[in-house]
Amino acid sequence: MNQTNITWIEGSVVENEVHMSIVELSHASRTPEEMIMSWVTEGVLSPTGSSPQDWRFGGDSLRRAKTAAHLTHDLELNVPGVALALDLLDEIAELRARLQRGE
Amino acid sequence: MKFRDYYETLGVARSATEAEIKAAYRKLARKYHPDVNKEAGAEEKFKEIGEAYAVLKDTEKRAAYDRFGANWKNGQDFTPPPNWNEGFEYADDGYGGAHPGYGSGFEGDQSEFFESLFGRGKHRQGGRGGHTHQGMNFKGQDHHAKIMIDLADAYNGAKRTIALHMPTLDASGHVTTQERKLDVSIPKGIKAGQNLRLSGQGGPGVGEGPTGDLYLEIEFHPNPIYRVDGKDVLIDIPLAPWEAALGTTVNVPTPAGSTLELKIPAGTIAGRKMRLKGKGIPSAEPGDLYVVPTIALPPADTDTHKEAYQNFEKAFDFNPRTHLKG
């Protein structure tokens, strides 16, 4: 029998196990740190920690930052526009889920 | 190669002004943006719109494109005439529509039609990195890709070999797509929309900088039996009318591959959910599996069956429409 050993790459589930610094989130979402700061100010992202150096972004921060970056780039939305779009998208997702649950 | 009618894609006349083209593009881009529109085909449409706009917003490209004339239709077989773009110069080969990171990998988003006319756009280098700065060290780019897994993989964990298509710049600055295979362990309990971070599997670092990371966004293959809501899972269980009325026991298949026995109480109503606690997607706080009963009516397709329904009718004084007037 010809058997090859495969090394399976283990990853970390970002939403459960990873708490990113602003540097990491900036890199992962390809967004300048200043833009991330303005998203925090607008309430798009809610990190723990008191100052940007201490900020830790958990949960669905990466997904939100990626969506915010796409909307900023593709639709040329400004920061309040991105914040509004994300709130509305969350609401639509919640309504769709309720529809699916048959409520 | 198929012709692409960029005017038709944006829904504008060939005589449209720059402002009209921009407005049409913006409207369609908002409608079909894959972060906004979750319907199948939206992403493809968004890319087409972006490609059309990349040509029509650029005076030079639009003028070159217009030389083909108005008689070409979307999808017609097309070969560009020789020297068709003689005398045109394109200030940039950028492609302003879609962004990398969508779709199954990182491949360029342009159609064959676009590439044959205007060349392959430079792969956009996002954020920092990418360019060589003498004596400077940067972490390599973080890459993003979506992967599709089965719901069962989230219940049981899985090992998957995935193929990613990654654009790489060769020595002369041209983009070539390389396929890269990765053997990835999918952890039990992962949910749709979550990201798996594979450290050091992204773009190469610059100078002494470390390699970037690869983020895999998880999506579930559509499942004919189950619906997924975060960590909860729903399954429709059809019941015969007498089973719903009198009660019964049914076997409920779980996404993990096991079967649960569920007691259906007498007088069960369609749509009234029953919760199997902790049988959703596993985790420290596992989700629940919801059984949604539906009532299936047997067809009255033989005399015996018709008689059974008639007996039904005689036995009950039942009007389901008493709450409706008239």
pLDDT in tens, B56-92: 998 888 988 888 777 777 777 777 766 666 666 554 4
B201 and B110 within one domain: no
B114 and B11 within one domain: yes
DSSP secondary structure code for residue B323 in this structure: T
pLDDT band at B40 (very low <50, low <70, confident <90, very high): confident
- Within 8 A by CB and 6+ apart from B284, the residues are none
The enclosing domain of B184 has a CATH number of: 2.60.260.20
Using a CB-CB cut-off of 8 Å, the residues of chain A touching B199 are: 11-12
Domain definitions of chain A by residue range: 17-101
| Number of residues written out for chain A | 103
Give kind and range of the element (H or E) at residue B172. none
Q: How far does the CA of residue A45 sit from the closest CA of chain B (Å)?
A: 17
Q: Is the pLDDT of residue B94 over 70?
A: no
B111 and B13 within one domain: yes
Domain that holds residue B215: 143-220
A14 and B195: CB-CB below 8 Å? yes
Share of chain B above pLDDT 70, in %: 84
Token digits of residue B60: 């030079």
Using a CB-CB cut-off of 8 Å, the residues of chain B touching A10 are: 185, 187
Q: Map tokens 């449409």 to a residue.
A: B45
The alpha carbon of B149 is separated from its chain's Cα centroid by a whole number of angstroms, namely: 12
Q: Does A1 touch chain B (CB under 8 A)?
A: no
The chain A residue lying nearest B189, using CA atoms, is A13
Q: Does A95 touch chain B (CB under 8 A)?
A: no
Supply the pLDDT for residue B326.
Answer: 59
Q: Does B226 touch chain A (CB under 8 A)?
A: no
Structure ipTM: 0.81
B229 and A100: CB-CB below 8 Å? yes
In terms of phi and psi (left: phi > 0; alpha: psi -120 to 50; beta: otherwise), the region of B207 is left
pTM for the structure as a whole: 0.72
Facing residue for B187 by CB, picked from A13, A89, A97: A13
Is B134 inside a domain boundary?
no
d(CA B194, CA B188): 12
- Within 8 A by CB and 6+ apart from B62, the residues are B55, B56
Facing residue for B35 by CB, picked from A30, A70, A96: A70
Which tens digits make up the pLDDT trace of B279-308? 999 988 999 999 999 999 999 999 999 999
B31 and B113 within one domain: yes
Given B203, B220, B237, which residue is the final one in a domain? B220
B23 and B109 within one domain: yes
A103 burial (CB, 10 Å; 0-12 / 13-18 / 19+) is: exposed
B127 and A26: CB-CB below 8 Å? yes
Sign of CA dihedral A42, A44, A49, A55: negative
Q: Map tokens 């629940």 to a residue.
A: B288
Q: Does A62 touch chain B (CB under 8 A)?
A: yes
Q: Which fold has domain A17-101?
A: Multidrug-efflux Transporter Regulator; Chain: A; Domain 2 (1.10.1660)
Using a CB-CB cut-off of 8 Å, the residues of chain A touching B215 are: 14, 28, 62
Number of domains within chain B: 3
Facing residue for A11 by CB, picked from B38, B142, B197: B197
Q: Alpha-carbon dihedral of residues B113, B114, B115, B117, nearest 10 degrees?
A: 90
CB B215 within 8 Å of CB B142: yes
Supply the pLDDT for residue A36.
Answer: 96
B189 and B105 within one domain: no
End-to-end CA distance of chain B: 63
Is B135 inside a domain boundary?
no
Shortest CA distance to B150 belongs to which of B192, B104, B180?
A: B192
Supply the pLDDT for residue B241.
Answer: 94
B184 and B258 within one domain: no
Is B241 inside a domain boundary?
yes
A8 and B194: CB-CB below 8 Å? no
Parts of chain A with a pLDDT under 70: 1-4, 103
Shortest CA distance to B237 belongs to which of B221, B248, B222?
A: B248
Facing residue for A14 by CB, picked from B189, B197, B232: B197
Q: Does A91 touch chain B (CB under 8 A)?
A: no
B113 and B80 within one domain: yes
Long-range contacts of A94-98 (CB under 8 A, 24+ apart): A96/B38, A97/B229, A97/B230
Angle ∠(B37,A61,B207) on CA atoms, nearest 5: 105
